[in-house]
Chains A and B, each alone.
Chain A
Amino acid sequence: MTNHWRDIRNADLILINGANPAEAHPVGFQWMLRAKLDRGAKIIHADPRFTRTSAVADTHLRIRTGSDVAYFGGLINYVLQNELYHKDYVQYATNAAFVVKDSYQFKDGLFNGYDPQKRVYDATSWAYETGPDGFAKTDIQNPRSVLNLMREHYRRYTPDMVARITGIPQDQFLQVAKLVGEMGRPDKVMTIVYAVGLTHHTTGVQLIRSGAVLQLLLGNIGRPGGGMNAERGHANIQGNTDHAISWDILPGYLRVPAPGQHNLTDYVTQSASKKLQPTSLNFFGDNYRKFMVSLMKAWYGEKAVSANEYAFDYLPKPASNASWLSIFDQALRGKMEGLMLSGMTATSIGPDSNQVLQALSKLKWLCVMDAFATTSSEFWRAPGVDPKSVQTEVLMLPATHWIEKDGSFTNSGRWAQWKEQVLPPQGEARHDHWILAEVFQRVRDLYQQQDGKFPEPVLALTFPYADPRRPTLDEIAKEINGYDLTTGKRLATFAGLKDDGSTSAGDWIYTGHYPETGNLTKRRDGIQNPAKNDPTGMGFYPGWAWSWPLNRRVLYNRASADAQGRPWDPQRPGIRWDPTAAKWVGDVPDYPPTADPTKPGAPLPFIMTGEGTGRLFSNGVADGPFPEHYEPVESPIDNPLHPSVSATPVAFLYDKAAGRDNRFGTSADYPYVATSYRLTEHEHYITQQVEHLVQLQPEPFVEIPAELAKEKGIKNGDKVRVSSKRGKLEVRAVVTKRLGALQIDGKKVYQIGIPIHWGFVGINTGQHWLANALTPFVGDASSRTPEFKAFLVNLEKM
């Protein structure tokens, strides 16, 4: 989230797309209801299904799954055409005035720089025109200014086109557009809330970017009650992301080194953003080297010295990506020997689970660390798998449940909150990090005894814990925070990090969470005394836990005030310049704390980008500088905008590349659009072990539109078979009008809903196929996140 949960209560309008917070985030959802109840905010829920969120929203729009770029694109067009955008904000805080090179082009569904053989774009071909000083030219009147190119790009997203793609009738779209358009006023603010309903598409990154672009145009990024807010999928997925669970980043969103980078300078030059305006602070880009050197000091300690580029050679420079899909693709190709799973069950969570089961069968060994038996630790007894044919040795290591350990959770709003251990570990269970520490020690012993091809990265790694086989999470938290290595004191801010090897930080964005004064994530100055603990009244509660970076509650909050430092909306200030005190007051400023905005040369508002502004146009993504609607890989129609380039041209097609059979279906055989999702009663797959929750949702089912059910003679509770090109589910039907037909480009299209929670392990699950047996093995071009949320199926009564 750019903002945080409690802040949603400050909004006037709440757009919910690709999310179902009432069911998936019922506790956080209270703040949407508070906005509605306390300030009369409107909630607009665009979703394929009428859900428990829609039930309390002001408006539900039935939208075809995966078409939200067209919806947001239509809103962008409406806002531009009707001049409803926040002009002062756009001029001051976005790159609208930047002039783009004339090589930029978008034609028939393709941007310039496309390589059809490799199916990739050269993203550097989307660039600004620069002057002799190396800075980008700005002229908002220029026909090639970002704003004008944008007008041109989104001109095609008319209400009629929106209706053809999304299924939302024009008049209904325009009713919503009118409300959204009002949010460009300085005294109004809108938030966009999303979840994996946007990310789980081959266009996932652009789906989210299209919302962010709309928010920048309306002047809603950086403001309390505004922002682009991702609801994360479990208690600590934000923490996981911050600490590099994703394949393309190191801790703190530093990029994974790439082949050809021979030294730190190569790495920094190719990874860090460049300063594109004289008054751009370019904080991230300019400090990239400090953060990276401090990270390597945390990892390699005294072995990381200037002479060896701070052990840069020790870091892998992978030539191929290690995304989830790629891991299982490698296993399918027989190129993987073993796999360790922790905190998840690969069998259930991946797309095309029948293919995943094959991949697991090709491993020599599979090690599962979990508190319970999972569909992975017992994958050999999945329906359709012959246990005799599986040679994989499966090791089950009992791991502690989160309730059996302390440590912090980082929530969607970036608050790291420490929790205590509630129960002692049961039986032989060990913490996951103890298991990994033990494995590491033994591997290191083997390297010491037997040498190896490249032992240094393993032998030189620091392991500075009192008991190296049992590190405490408190020790690890301190290591993440980082030290001034000269004094041995923990740092209070990442501003103190250096690139000369005198500081360390395991994750620079967390530097300051555990200074010498103590672990700030344990703080609990909350609503027991709002007057004292929330001095601004804006709900920041700075003494509650700690949020990265630097306990800032709203990211980009410099943009909550105008160029002179006055809040756009004095009723809802984020930060403001106090000329008497000569400093910024309010939230922790996302800006130099004493930089006087009224002086010439004051830094631009977005300190993390090279532009110094928010990016309406960006070359930071793999599939285009402006979000464009592409059909899901399996779709009932050709893209009405450009039928010849219907789906994204840059999705990596694993099966094709590996020479495996095509596993994508067409609407001739699979006429219905399906989407997968969670229910409020379960948490992924783990709660199949919890009796009270199994009682609430005992059996798998699919939701079927009443009209389609009538055509097929299906009644509520009947058994049905739902099949895709890849697999099938045989479950009960829940017949409902909450799902219904849409008119998509002149064609009647039904959508079917598939909850994901069941399988073949649990106290009441029986032998069920996995919902992901249906989903396609393909992902987003930038993130490789699989397309779980839009695919084609057939439906039969059994």
Chain B
Amino acid sequence: MVEITPGRAYGFFTDTSVCIGCKACEVACKEWNQLPGNEPVFGDGFDNTGSLDSQNWRHVKFIDNVADETMQAGDGKAWLMMSDVCKHCKHASCLEVCPTGALIRTEFDTVYIQPDVCNGCRDCIAACPYGVIGLDEHSNVAQKCTLCYDRLQGGMEPACAKACPTQSIQFGPVDELRAKASQRLDDLHGQGIAQAQLYGADDSVYGGLNAFFLLMDKPEAYHLPNAANAVLPSRNNARGYLATAVTAVLAVIGGLVALRRRREPVREPVPEPVRKQPEGGE
């Protein structure tokens, strides 16, 4: 049983090499968090959940690279299964863009949406690079994995980790999980599974992920941004600031030109535009 102390960073180590795609995490999450789920819809036979969204805070991805062979090694690398979840990024895009302060970092170093503060603006949904967040159509608030904030406050591990039968999802203090992950990676490399790699265990993506992964292929195979592509919305800031400055300069110039023209003689009036502009337009 993990001891849960406010002030310490907690997260998940999701070891995809032992994931068996049972989806107990998906169901346990919905049961605990009282998520009714989406309307049933046929996906591809094994993944009928489709994606993380307001109703699915855990989603097992199935990536089928199985070859048509009479003998092959499974070893967790032919039919990739990965229980995806909010990464609780150290540099969290959602937190950065939230205009209301609904998104906070908790005493467990997790990223949490306060439903009573969220105004449903969807900025966080657009900002999340992992497509984690969805808008609940009934309450009109953004929802995602809370890392079972309520359970942590009660000293209990999150529901998904509790339900996972193979310890593919491990919960604990992030520093301890990183040590475990590093050991597991060494074991797999020792067994000749060279492509096994950690994702988000160091600071190379979004400053480090509190919910990080051991992957059996490169991140792109799981549709995850690699280190080169994992950048925050604020990456646009430099360009944004420059554009603002240029706009400001042009506006000043434009204003000066306009002032000069006021002194010029009035030309023939232009025809009325066809579309009626509301008052105070332009």
Chain A residues with a Cβ under 8 A of chain B: 22-23, 26-27, 29-30, 33, 37, 40, 45, 50, 52-62, 167-169, 172, 175, 680-681, 691-699, 701, 703, 705-707, 716-717, 732, 734, 736-738, 740-742, 764
B177 within 8 A of A: no
- Residues of chain B contacted by A696 (CB below 8 angstroms): 23, 26-27, 48-49
Does A692 lie within 8 Å of B31, measured CB to CB? Answer: yes
Chain B residues 34-77 with CB under 8 Å of chain A are 36-42, 44-46, 48-49, 64, 66-76
Tell me, rounded to whole Å, the shortest Cβ–Cβ distance linking A524 to chain B.
Answer: 16
Complex Cα gap A7–B59 (Å):
31
Chain B interface bracket (under 10, 10 to 19, 20 to 34, 35 or more): 35 or more
Does B167 lie within 8 Å of A30, measured CB to CB? Answer: yes
B21 within 8 A of A: yes
Does A27 lie within 8 Å of B78, measured CB to CB? Answer: no
Tell me, rounded to whole Å, the shortest Cβ–Cβ distance linking A272 to chain B.
Answer: 42
B232 within 8 A of A: no
Contact (A680, B68) CB under 8 Å given A55-B81, A58-B75: no
- Residues of chain A contacted by B39 (CB below 8 angstroms): 695
Does B45 lie within 8 Å of A60, measured CB to CB? Answer: no
Does B71 lie within 8 Å of A30, measured CB to CB? Answer: no
Give which listed residue, B27, B81, B166, contacts A33 with CB less than 8 A: B166
Interface of A is mostly: mixed
Give which listed residue, B17, B22, B69, B191, contacts A52 with CB less than 8 A: B22
- Residues of chain A contacted by B166 (CB below 8 angstroms): 26, 29-30, 33
Give which listed residue, A54, A701, A738, A740, contacts B70 with CB less than 8 A: A740
- Residues of chain B contacted by A737 (CB below 8 angstroms): 64, 66-68
Does A58 lie within 8 Å of B44, measured CB to CB? Answer: no
Does B70 lie within 8 Å of A172, measured CB to CB? Answer: yes
- Residues of chain A contacted by B74 (CB below 8 angstroms): 45, 50, 53-60
Does A680 lie within 8 Å of B21, measured CB to CB? Answer: yes
Does B69 lie within 8 Å of A55, measured CB to CB? Answer: no
B165 within 8 A of A: yes
Does A680 lie within 8 Å of B22, measured CB to CB? Answer: yes
Does A26 lie within 8 Å of B70, measured CB to CB? Answer: no
- Residues of chain B contacted by A717 (CB below 8 angstroms): 42, 44
Does A680 lie within 8 Å of B79, measured CB to CB? Answer: no
- Residues of chain B contacted by A693 (CB below 8 angstroms): 27
B128 within 8 A of A: no
Closest 3 CB pairs of A and B: A698-B40, A734-B45, A22-B20
Nearest opposing residue in chain A for B45, CB measure: A734
What are 5 residue pairs bridging A and B, where the CB atoms are less than 8 Å apart in the complex?
Answer: A30-B167, A57-B73, A694-B40, A696-B48, A734-B45
- Residues of chain A contacted by B21 (CB below 8 angstroms): 22, 52, 55, 680
B211 within 8 A of A: no
Tell me, rounded to whole Å, the shortest Cβ–Cβ distance linking A333 to chain B.
Answer: 40
Nearest opposing residue in chain A for B44, CB measure: A716
Give which listed residue, A23, A56, A698, A740, contacts B48 with CB less than 8 A: A698
- Residues of chain A contacted by B70 (CB below 8 angstroms): 61-62, 167-169, 172, 740, 742
Of residues B24, B30, B72, which shows the largest number of chain A Cβ atoms within 10 Å of its Cβ?
B72
Does A699 lie within 8 Å of B42, measured CB to CB? Answer: yes
B231 within 8 A of A: no
Chain B residues 108-133 with CB under 8 Å of chain A are none
Does A698 lie within 8 Å of B167, measured CB to CB? Answer: no
Tell me, rounded to whole Å, the shortest Cβ–Cβ distance linking B167 to chain A.
Answer: 7
- Residues of chain A contacted by B46 (CB below 8 angstroms): 734
Does A50 lie within 8 Å of B42, measured CB to CB? Answer: no
- Residues of chain A contacted by B45 (CB below 8 angstroms): 701, 703, 716, 732, 734, 736
Contact (A50, B48) CB under 8 Å given A33-B18, A698-B41: no
Does B66 lie within 8 Å of A56, measured CB to CB? Answer: no
Does A60 lie within 8 Å of B36, measured CB to CB? Answer: no
- Residues of chain B contacted by A57 (CB below 8 angstroms): 73-75
Task: Render B142-180 as a binary contact track against A, CB cut-off 8 A, 1 for contact.
Answer: 000000000000000000000001110000000000000
- Residues of chain A contacted by B48 (CB below 8 angstroms): 695-698
Tell me, rounded to whole Å, the shortest Cβ–Cβ distance linking A417 to chain B.
Answer: 17
Complex Cα gap A60–B68 (Å):
12
Does A23 lie within 8 Å of B79, measured CB to CB? Answer: no
Contact (A695, B40) CB under 8 Å given A30-B165, A50-B66, A58-B73: yes
Complex Cα gap A698–B74 (Å):
27
- Residues of chain A contacted by B31 (CB below 8 angstroms): 692
Tell me, rounded to whole Å, the shortest Cβ–Cβ distance linking A751 to chain B.
Answer: 12
Nearest opposing residue in chain B for A679, CB measure: B46
Tell me, rounded to whole Å, the shortest Cβ–Cβ distance linking B47 to chain A.
Answer: 9
- Residues of chain A contacted by B81 (CB below 8 angstroms): 52, 55
Of residues B36, B44, B71, which shows the largest number of chain A Cβ atoms within 10 Å of its Cβ?
B71
Complex Cα gap A692–B24 (Å):
11
Tell me, rounded to whole Å, the shortest Cβ–Cβ distance linking B35 to chain A.
Answer: 9
Does B37 lie within 8 Å of A23, measured CB to CB? Answer: no
- Residues of chain B contacted by A692 (CB below 8 angstroms): 26-27, 30-31, 37
Complex Cα gap A146–B173 (Å):
60
Give which listed residue, B22, B67, B71, contacts A59 with CB less than 8 A: B71
- Residues of chain B contacted by A58 (CB below 8 angstroms): 73-75
Does A738 lie within 8 Å of B22, measured CB to CB? Answer: no
Complex Cα gap A33–B75 (Å):
11
Does A61 lie within 8 Å of B71, measured CB to CB? Answer: yes
Complex Cα gap A53–B18 (Å):
10
- Residues of chain A contacted by B18 (CB below 8 angstroms): 33, 37, 56
- Residues of chain B contacted by A27 (CB below 8 angstroms): 165
Give which listed residue, A40, A56, A732, contacts B20 with CB less than 8 A: A56
Nearest opposing residue in chain A for B65, CB measure: A737
Known A55-B20, A169-B70, A695-B39; 19 more pairs at CB < 8 Å: A23-B22, A33-B166, A37-B18, A50-B72, A50-B74, A50-B78, A52-B79, A54-B74, A55-B78, A56-B17, A680-B20, A680-B23, A696-B26, A701-B45, A705-B68, A707-B68, A734-B45, A734-B46, A740-B70
- Residues of chain B contacted by A740 (CB below 8 angstroms): 68-70
Chain B residues 1-43 with CB under 8 Å of chain A are 17-24, 26-27, 30-31, 36-42
Complex Cα gap A680–B36 (Å):
20
Does B71 lie within 8 Å of A62, measured CB to CB? Answer: yes
Tell me, rounded to whole Å, the shortest Cβ–Cβ distance linking A449 to chain B.
Answer: 52
Complex Cα gap A494–B31 (Å):
44
- Residues of chain A contacted by B167 (CB below 8 angstroms): 30, 33
Does B44 lie within 8 Å of A26, measured CB to CB? Answer: no
Complex Cα gap A318–B39 (Å):
52
Of residues B17, B27, B45, which shows the largest number of chain A Cβ atoms within 10 Å of its Cβ?
B45
Nearest opposing residue in chain A for B70, CB measure: A62
Of residues A168, A707, A740, which shows the largest number of chain B Cβ atoms within 10 Å of its Cβ?
A740
Of residues B40, B72, B74, B187, which shows the largest number of chain A Cβ atoms within 10 Å of its Cβ?
B74
Tell me, rounded to whole Å, the shortest Cβ–Cβ distance linking B225 to chain A.
Answer: 25
Does A738 lie within 8 Å of B37, measured CB to CB? Answer: no
Nearest opposing residue in chain A for B17, CB measure: A56
Nearest opposing residue in chain A for B81, CB measure: A55
- Residues of chain A contacted by B67 (CB below 8 angstroms): 737
Complex Cα gap A693–B40 (Å):
9
Does B79 lie within 8 Å of A738, measured CB to CB? Answer: yes
Tell me, rounded to whole Å, the shortest Cβ–Cβ distance linking A403 to chain B.
Answer: 14
Tell me, rounded to whole Å, the shortest Cβ–Cβ distance linking A468 to chain B.
Answer: 39
Nearest opposing residue in chain B for A705, CB measure: B68
Complex Cα gap A663–B42 (Å):
33
Chain B residues 68-106 with CB under 8 Å of chain A are 68-76, 78-79, 81
Contact (A55, B79) CB under 8 Å given A26-B22, A717-B42: yes
Complex Cα gap A26–B167 (Å):
11
Tell me, rounded to whole Å, the shortest Cβ–Cβ distance linking B12 to chain A.
Answer: 18
Complex Cα gap A738–B63 (Å):
12
Complex Cα gap A243–B21 (Å):
34
Tell me, rounded to whole Å, the shortest Cβ–Cβ distance linking A664 to chain B.
Answer: 28
Nearest opposing residue in chain A for B191, CB measure: A40
Complex Cα gap A706–B21 (Å):
22
